[in-house]
Each structure stands twice: as C-alpha cells, then as structure tokens.
Amino acid sequence: MVVDPLDELDAQVARLRSVADELRLARANPVLSGDQVELIEDGPTLLAAYEEMQRSCREQIRALDRGPYSAPPASQQKLELERLGDGLVYRAIYGFEVFESEEVMSVLPELRSAGEQSRVLPQMPMKMVLGDDNMALVALTKRAPAECHLLIRSTGLLDGLIATFEMLWGLAVPMPELDAAGEVAALRAPDRDVLMLLAGGATDDMISRRLRISPRTTQRRVRALMDALGAQTRFQAGVQAARRRWI
C-alpha cells in the first residue's frame, strides 16, 4: 500500500495537536516524556528556539515553509547565511504561495546563491523545521504565527516527521532559477520556466507576471506542454516533466 505523504503529514499534525492539548492540561508541568516535547505559545520564545536550533545543528536544517511568519524573513536571513557559510546544509520545501510573497522572494535568491536547496509543492499544509535528526519545531496553527508550536526532541514523533519530510522532498520539484530581484531568471528554454512554475502550483496569471509574457501566450504554452506530457492536471505536468528530467 502506497502512503500519501500529505495524508501522513495530516495524521502527524493530528497526533501533535493531541499532545499540545495534553500539555495545556498539565500547566504545572508543561513538559512531557522527560523534556522531550515542549509547548511554545509566544513569539520571543519561538524565535529564540529557532535560532538556537540553527546554531546547535552540525549537519542540516530541513524545513517546510509557509506563512504567516513570526518575524520578517529578512530578519532570519543573516543567521542562515552564516550557517550556510559554516557548511550547514539547508533543505527547504515551499508552498506555491511563495511566488506571491514579496517578503520571501526578497531574500530567497541570496539564500539559494549561498547554497540553500529549495523545492516547491502546490500545497503546504503546515510549517516545520527539523534540526539534524535531533529536534523539530512544528507549527500547529495556520493563521497566528506564534499561537501554538511544539518543540520535539528525540521521540517516535520526531522519527515520523523526518520520514514524512523526506517523502515530501521526493515529491516536490526544484524551485525555478531566480534573479537577484526574486524574478524567474531567463533560461535557454522558455518552456522549462513554465514547467517549473506549473510544478509549483502557479496560476496562469502568476506565470505571466513572473515570466513577463502575455496571458494568451501563457495559456498556449501551458496547454501545449500538458498535451506533450499527457498530463491531466497542471501539477501533474510539472511532476511528469521533473521525472523525465525536462526540469
């Protein structure tokens, strides 16, 4: 039986919400399993935990990234650049809404140039950061950035989150090349740009604006590429193109 990584992620989030509820009921002792799971419900504590995670890591940071943000992405850029310079590996999977986020697009080109490995999925159901194989920082809400996070150290929950990230990494497709302004860079094959954005879940309007081509041209290219790939959906076209190494 093939496991859908997004379904598995939803199941993980449901389990983590149950843990958060247990922690709220145990306010006198807000830590479970020998300090293995900690509830964080304020912005300063969250940012401090995230920065400490990055500084303590020795191998890699893995992230599922989406808004909203507890602090502007630019405020975290310096530390990531510093750790990339130290040789720490950063792998990030972004939701397609990243293309509409000026605050992310303003920092992403420099991070990628410094070595961040980034991919795109059409839907990002949650935010999560994994520090090495030792800890995870997981957001359990979508609207309020610091409303509820769990800091998870080595437990079975952490093992499941690591496995799910790796499944999503295999499903995601490479982020399009970006110029210094966060625009999709001009490549030798224009259709490759279209396919990369399709794989990221971009709409025709987003593709037109990012590639600076007319909506009618965009529609023609998208339809022709989907036909060529035998794809029934736009995202399927991007995935098929990645599997065939067109992108």
pLDDT at 31: 46
Residue ranges of the chain with per-residue pLDDT less than 50: 30-34, 144, 184-188
- Structure-token match 């080595």, residue found: 154
What is the CB neighbour count within 10 angstroms for residue 70?
19
Q: Amino acid identity, residue 79?
A: L
pLDDT digits (tens, 9 = 90+) for 74-85: 888 999 999 999
- At 230, list the tokens: 């035998």
Domain with CATH 3.30.870.10 in the chain: 5-174
Q: What local confidence, expressed as pLDDT, does residue 88 receive?
A: 97
Task: Count CA within 13 A, CB hemisphere, residue 89.
Answer: 8
pTM exceeds 0.85, yes or no: no
pLDDT for res 182: 59
Could you tell me which of 144, 139, 116, 117 has the C-alpha nearest to residue 128? 139
CA dihedral of 26, 30, 34, 37, whole degrees rounded to 10? 110
DSSP per position, 53-110: HHHH-SSEEEEEE-S--SS-HHHHHHHHHHHHHTT-EEEEEEEGGGGG-HHHHTTHHH
Q: CATH number of 190-243: 3.40.640.10, 3.40.50.300, 1.10.10.10, 2.60.40.10?
A: 1.10.10.10
Q: List, for residues 180-199, the tens digit of each pLDDT value.
A: 665 544 434 567 788 878 87
The class that CATH gives domain 5-174 is alpha beta
What type of residue sits at position 84?
L
Q: How far apart are CA 42 and CA 63, in angstroms?
A: 20
- Check residue 244 and give its pLDDT: 60
Task: List Cα–Cα distances, 129 to 12, 45, 234, 241, in angstroms.
Answer: 14, 15, 28, 28
Task: List, by residue range, all CATH 1.10.10.10 domains of the chain.
Answer: 190-243
CB 43 within 8 A of CB 75: no
